[in-house]
């Protein structure tokens, strides 16, 4: 999953939970929600190109074995 941390002042799209903080999703919330859905974190990459407004990250998940 490649996404970005919400930036200050970004607009929260309609229907998006308030804990998102704006456009994008905080990395911790993404990890928590996918872990609750049965996925394990394989890799976290925080060194994606970004600027002062867009803190981009990549998290690779794997479905937990039953």
Domain with 55 in it: 2-63
Q: Is 20 helix (H, G, I), strand (E, B) or coil?
A: helix
Q: Specify the pTM.
A: 0.79
Number of folded domains that form the chain = 1
Question: Residues 37, 27: contact at Cβ < 8 Å?
Answer: no
DSSP 8-state symbol, 37: T
The percent of residues in the chain predicted with pLDDT above 90, rounded, is 45
- Each residue of 2-23: pLDDT tens digit? 999 887 767 777 887 877 777 7
**Helix intervals (H) in 3-63:** 27-36
């Amino acid at each position: 999953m490649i996404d970005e941390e919400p930036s200050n002042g970004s607009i929260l799209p309609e229907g998006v939970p308030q804990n998102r903080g704006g456009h994008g999703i905080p990395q911790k919330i993404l990890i928590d929600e996918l872990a609750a859905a049965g996925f394990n974190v394989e890799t976290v990459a925080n060194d994606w190109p970004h600027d002062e407004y867009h803190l981009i990250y990549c998290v690779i998940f794997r479905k937990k074995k039953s």
